[in-house]
Amino acid sequence: MKKINTLIILLFAAILRVQAYSVPDTIIIRSDAGIEKITADLDSLVNCWYVKMALQNDPDIFSYDTAGVQYDDSVYINRISKISSIIKLPYNKIIRNHIQVYTIKQRDKFSAVLGLKDYYFPMIEDIFDSYGLPAELKYMAVIESALNTNAVSRMGATGLWQFMYSTGRSYGLTINSIVDERRDPVKSTHAAAKYIKDLYNIYNDWILVIEAYNCGPGNVNKAIRRSGNKKDYWEIFYRLPRETRGYIAQYVAATYAVNYYPEENILPLPINFPVATDTIMINKDIHLTQISEVMKIPLGELRALNPQYRTGLIPGSTKPFALTLPVSHLGDFIDLNDTIRRYKSDIYLNKTILIGDPSRSAYLPADIKGKTKLYYTVKDGDNLGFISEWYRIGLSELRYWNNIYRNTIRVGQKLVVFVDPSRSEYYSKINSMSFAEKQAMIGKNVQANPQTAQNKTEVEADSDYITHTVRYGDTIWDIVKLYDNVTTTEVLTLNNISDPQKIQVGQKLKIKKKS
């Protein structure tokens, strides 16, 4: 009898503990955005090479014999309470709706995530452990990208951890027309761990850290200030950007679905991802297609293992870069190294063809879901700064979409531009406008000599400095590239800038002339 009473007391205590962290159903007033993101990410994942191969081998794998089950709230609450996590996991009806996207509405495609987790989760756990981070933060990768290293958001966030250009650069990731380490699962996870650790040092609260990773620490800080310096997530909830309020619900849903997929009768997609891989450092240029054709490894597999090499070229002559191969092929690669490099080297290692050539459309990023693709033909007097302003896009995005290194473009070159579908008709007219019409469209007068306008602006009276006006999409790193023999540190010091990510459109920066 005493044992029964004790069990009842423990059960009651557990229920109270869970209910104490249950959130009112009305707290989240918009869940559609989060559900749309989950659906879009899962749709995109089906286009991954390994997933395609799995579906090709078994086209009926997504035909489930059993439908998902809608459980009572008590079942979800009980299951969530049993998940080992130092991060408190809330529950309400909105979270239940997100859970059911994974377990009912998109259960077939979620099986692809489950098939990939055995490859990515051990790597993420190992790296997070080295930084002293909780292993359960690995579930953030599910809601960020659905474990898709090639994922690109509408805003241009890229890779497994969905880094924006400036944030990725600030955490040491190489991003240019040849290499985009936001897509490198190992390097981007190290960068994510550093970023998460920095956020925890600011907030000392994992829920706030997770939210800040999504919407940025600036938005979280604003919400804290506007709520009277309260630092509880649910007390600042309504001060956060409306479109990001469902992020915690997505996190809890992903955590639940990964832990309880067997109970939900979801089978992981049998993906033939080589769990045993190794890396070798490359210190001379080599192309993935050379490796593929000489070693008879499918090119799609090599690209899936090395998604950071946007054109397929590994530019080892600039600095050592890592090549990931299945362990079973590593020895053969070492033996055939010289043979592989010599194979059609005039084609695959010809940088004048591979870099920035608009005819090599196969190297352009895939279409961005939810955006309309337009083409702009470069005219005399154009530069990337002008074009990015006309289309209201980031300069880094424009370069990324078109494999452009620095800011070099040529007359007649066709550039890809992604715009909001609701404004596509408006932006489609830009290609046929005169320079004056395009400038007038953004409220600017035509300068006497537009060719000299680029991003270098008027010289100050003493002629010791150049004044650069920050344009939409500029970063400190973009700006420094435009001037000879100028360093980032010099520009930041000269302009009293402590945070390089806080420059603003229209801000005037002094650039010291070099003699």
Residues 158/164/166/171 CA torsion (nearest 10 deg): -70
The one-letter code for the residue type at 406 is R
Whether residues 295 and 404 share a domain: the answer is: no
Whether residues 138 and 193 share a domain: the answer is: yes
93 contacts 25 by C-beta, under 8 angstroms: yes
Whether residues 245 and 153 share a domain: the answer is: yes
Q: Please give the share of the chain, as a percent, with pLDDT higher than 70.
A: 79
pLDDT digits (tens, 9 = 90+) for 413-428: 889 899 888 888 899 9
| Domain span at 153 | 23-260
Tell me: pLDDT of 396 over 50. yes
Closest listed residue to residue 80, CA positions, set 131, 17, 129, 25: 17
Tell me what pLDDT residue 348 has. Answer: 86
What single string gives the DSSP state of each residue in 217-248?
HHHHHHHHHHTTS---TTTSGGGS-GGGTTHH
Whether residues 316 and 337 share a domain: the answer is: yes
- Average pLDDT in the 392-402 region? 79
Whether residues 377 and 495 share a domain: the answer is: no
Whether residues 166 and 194 share a domain: the answer is: yes
CB atoms within 10 A of CB 363: 19
Count of domains forming the chain: 4
Tell me what pLDDT residue 141 has. Answer: 96
pLDDT digits (tens, 9 = 90+) for 13-35: 343 333 334 555 444 444 455 67
Whether residues 304 and 412 share a domain: the answer is: no
Does 267 fall in a domain? no
Tell me what pLDDT residue 6 has. Answer: 43
Greater pLDDT, 485 or 337 = 337
Does 133 fall in a domain? yes
Whether residues 27 and 155 share a domain: the answer is: yes
Does 14 fall in a domain? no
Q: How buried is 138 (Cβ within 10 angstroms: 0-12 exposed, 13-18 middle, 19+ buried)?
A: buried
424 contacts 476 by C-beta, under 8 angstroms: no
Q: Which of 354, 376, 399 is where one domain is finished?
A: 354
Whether residues 151 and 185 share a domain: the answer is: yes
Tell me: pLDDT of 451 over 80. no
State the Cα–Cα distance between residues 78 and 183, nearest whole angstrom: 37
Q: Is the dihedral of CA 434, 439, 445, 451 positive or negative?
A: negative
What is the number of H-type helices and E-type strands within the chain?
Answer: 24, 8
Greater pLDDT, 456 or 138 = 138
Range of 275-279, 287-291, 370-374, 455-459 with top mean pLDDT:
287-291
Does 370 fall in a domain? yes
Tell me what pLDDT residue 363 has. Answer: 44
Does 269 fall in a domain? no
Confidence of residue 452 (pLDDT cuts 50, 70, 90): very low
Whether residues 229 and 80 share a domain: the answer is: yes
Greater pLDDT, 371 or 505 = 371
Which CATH number covers residue 407?
Answer: 3.10.350.10
246 contacts 33 by C-beta, under 8 angstroms: yes
Tell me: pLDDT of 406 over 60. no
Tell me: pLDDT of 2 over 80. no
Confidence of residue 174 (pLDDT cuts 50, 70, 90): very high
3-state helix/strand/coil string of 348-417: HCCHHHHCCCCCCHHHCCCCCCCCEEEEEECCCCCCHHHHHHHCCCCHHHHHHHCCCCCCCCCCCCEEEE
pLDDT digits (tens, 9 = 90+) for 255-307: 999 999 999 999 898 888 877 888 999 999 999 999 999 999 999 899 999 99
Mean per-residue pLDDT over the chain, rounded:
81
Structure tokens at 318: 């600039």
Tell me what pLDDT residue 365 has. Answer: 54
Does 398 fall in a domain? yes
Q: Which of 323, 354, 385 is where one domain is finished?
A: 354
Does 16 fall in a domain? no
- Average pLDDT in the 226-232 region? 87
Q: Which of 452, 481, 503 is where one domain is finished?
A: 452
State the Cα–Cα distance between residues 32 and 34, nearest whole angstrom: 5
Tell me what pLDDT residue 400 has. Answer: 75
Confidence of residue 77 (pLDDT cuts 50, 70, 90): very high
Whether residues 366 and 343 share a domain: the answer is: no
Angle at 153 (CA atoms; ends 151, 154), nearest 5 degrees: 150
Does 59 fall in a domain? yes
DSSP code of residue 175: B
Q: Which residues contact 221 (CB under 8 A, 6 or more apart)?
A: none
Whether residues 373 and 337 share a domain: the answer is: no
- Average pLDDT in the 332-353 region? 84
pTM: 0.66
